[in-house]
Homo-oligomer: A and B are copies of this chain.
């Protein structure tokens, strides 16, 4: 049977986000995975040593030169941002995870931008900082990054204090999925969860609840 979607990416990369979402929706079997080889150096290089393939990918699949990319083969739509992909899929499959009204829809966009703009980069840097060999520098860098993360973590914690169990209220939605997936980058950082638990207890409780979802773990091992 031909597949409905083609998902471009590399296991262990941001592809885990749409894969997690697809598992929640029960549509992961409808996706063909197209592997994107990478080489991690100072930046992430895609299709290392394969200039023609990289050029083709940038010009025809993802002009941003990143992963993941979703192609909806039925609709002829290509999307290059993982949060946008997830919101699109939840809406298309009329999932409980999709926004139900205009206000929820706007909040889903807001939290997609929050994840990408406010939180993700510094959490990824926190993960990379742990590879530093000089302990004093590692500690200083870690402290600096936690300071920068105070704003987005506080925004998350305060918002959960108002919305309740989840970001849009009493049910898990794609706003939670997109926001929580950003926090997952830090899970291998020593003391990460304790720091969040102590300083942003509502965010920690929310994160713990979401990580216990059956489809979350599978995704971590993608």
Contact A81 B64 (CB under 8 A): no
Contact of A80 among B77, B87, B105, B110 (CB under 8 A): B110
- The contact string, 1 if C-beta is below 8 Å from chain B, for chain A 58-70, is 1100011110000
Interface centre among A63, A79, A87 (most CB of B within 10 A): A63
Assembled-state Cα–Cα distance A120/B66 (Å): 18
Contact A158 B105 (CB under 8 A): no
A114 an interface residue at 8 Å Cβ cutoff?
Answer: yes
- Name the B residues within 8 Å of A64 (CB-CB): 114, 118, 151-152, 154-155
- Name the B residues within 8 Å of A65 (CB-CB): 151, 154-155
Contact of A109 among B75, B81, B152, B154 (CB under 8 A): B81
A27 an interface residue at 8 Å Cβ cutoff?
Answer: no
- Name the B residues within 8 Å of A112 (CB-CB): 109, 112-113
Contact A77 B106 (CB under 8 A): yes
Assembled-state Cα–Cα distance A77/B99 (Å): 14
A103 an interface residue at 8 Å Cβ cutoff?
Answer: yes
Contact B83 A91 (CB under 8 A): no
A116 an interface residue at 8 Å Cβ cutoff?
Answer: yes
| A109-B92 contact in complex given A116-B116, A117-B117, C-beta closer than 8 Å | no
Assembled-state Cα–Cα distance A155/B107 (Å): 26
- Name the B residues within 8 Å of A110 (CB-CB): 79-81, 84
A159 an interface residue at 8 Å Cβ cutoff?
Answer: yes
Residues in A lying within 8 Å of B, measured CB to CB:
58-59, 63-66, 72, 75, 77, 79-81, 83-85, 87-88, 91-92, 102-103, 105-107, 109-110, 112-114, 116-118, 120-121, 151-152, 154-159
5 example contacts (A-B, Cβ-Cβ < 8 A) are as follows A63-B157, A64-B151, A75-B102, A83-B109, A117-B121
